[in-house]
Amino acid sequence: MTKPLIHITDVHHAYATDAGPLPVLDGLNVSVPEGGFVAVVGPSGCGKSTLTRLIAGLMKPDRGEVWLHGERVQSPRSTVGMAFQNPVLLEWRTILKNVMLPLEIVPTKMSKTEQEQRALHLLDLVGLKGFEDKRPSELSGGMRQRASLCRSLIHKPEVLILDEPFGALDAFTREDLWQTMHSLKAEEPFTGVLITHDLRESIFLADQVVVLSGRPAKTQYVMNIPRNGPPELDDLYTPEAADRLNILRHQIEIAQGRAPSEEVGA
C-alpha cells in the first residue's frame, strides 16, 4: 500500500497554561490517502483546531509525528492551504487581490496574468464571477467564505485544511457551499481535512469521518463513507444516511461523556 498523504501517528500535545499543562491531544492517529477527504468531529474544545495547527506546521506536537507526503512536518510549508470559520479577508484589498494573496508568499511558476486567470477561474467556480473588484464588506457572509476558499486553493496546495469553514453560515447557504466544495474537489486535486460540528456536513463531504474523544482527544471512532461520484442533497435523507448519522451522534455522546448506552432519539 502507498504511504498516505497525511499521516499522523500517536500525537500528544499539551498547552502550557497558568494552571499547569493542559493536555489536549492524547494519542491521536489519522491517516488520509492522496485525494482523500477526512472530516474530523468531536466535542467542543477537544482539540480539533489544535490538530489543524499541527498539520499546518504552525506548532510541533510534544510527542508523536505528523507526516505530509512522506516528509515529517517541522514548520509551515507552502503546500498547505487553510480556511477558517472567520473568512479573514483583508478589507483594504479587492476580492481578487485577496484571493491572490498566497501567491505573494509562495514561490510560483505562474506569470502575473496566469495567476490572475487562475484566481478568476476559481472565483467563477464558486459562483463569484463579477465580484472580483468588490471589497469584502460588500459581500455576504457566504460569499466571503467562498472567496476565502478560493484563496486557500490559489497556490494549488496538496493539503487543504478547513476549520469549521461553514460554521457561521445559515443552513441554506451551508448546503450551497457543500455543493461548491464538491465542484472544487472535482477540479482541484487536493487532499482535505475538514473540522466540523455538523454531522450531516461530515457525511456529505468526506469519505472518512473521524470522531475524536473529549479532551484530551484521541481517535475514538472512524467511519468510511463509500462514494461513487458527488452526492446529492437528497442522499442525506436516505435510511443509510440516517443510520450513519445515528452512529456518529452516538459516538459524539460517548465522547462528551454522556451516558454511552443511552438510546439516541431520531
Partner 1 sequence: MTLRKIAVPVIAMVVFLALWELLVWVNGWPNYIMAAPSDLPAAYSRYWELFLVMGWQTLWRTVVGLLIAVAFGIFVGMVMGFSRTMRDALYPLLVGFNAIPKATVVPIVALLFVGAHDFNTILIAFMISFFPIAVSVSIGLSTLEPEYRDILRSLGASQATVFWKIALPKTLPEFFGALKVAVTLAFIGTNLMEIVSPHGRGLGALFDSGKTNSDYPLMFAVLIALAFMGIVLYYVVVALEKIFAGWAERQPT
Ligand X SMILES: Nc1ncnc2c1ncn2[C@@H]1O[C@H](COP(=O)(O)OP(=O)(O)OP(=O)(O)O)[C@@H](O)[C@H]1O
Using CB under 6 A, which of the segments 14-22, 71-79, 97-105, 203-211 binds ligand X? 14-22
Give the residue with the Cβ less far from partner 1, 29 or 78: 78
Which cell is 191 given? 487532499
Residue from 1, 2, 17, 224 binding ligand X (CB under 6 A): 17
Q: Is 152 in the site for ligand X (CB under 6 A)?
A: no
Q: Which does 17 bind (CB under 5 to 8 A by kind): ligand X, partner 1, Mg ion, none?
A: ligand X
Residue from 48, 144, 146, 151 binding partner 1 (CB under 8 A): 151
Is residue 83 a contact partner of residue 169, using CB atoms and an 8 Å limit? no
Give the residue with the Cβ less far from Mg ion, 49 or 173: 49
- Helix segments in the chain, DSSP class H: 48-55, 95-100, 112-125, 141-153, 171-187, 199-205, 239-255
CA distance 14 to 62: 7
CA distance 264 to 197: 17
Q: Is 211 in the site for ligand X (CB under 6 A)?
A: no
Which cell is 165 given? 469553514
Of 43-62, binders to ligand X (CB under 6 A) are 44-50
Give the residue with the Cβ less far from ligand X, 158 or 164: 164
The vertex-67 CA angle with 66 and 71, nearest 5°, equals 135
CA distance 88 to 185: 22
Using CB under 8 A, which of the segments 54-62, 208-216, 233-241, 249-257 binds partner 1? 54-62
Q: Is 101 in the site for ligand X (CB under 6 A)?
A: no
Closest chain position to Mg ion (CB): 49
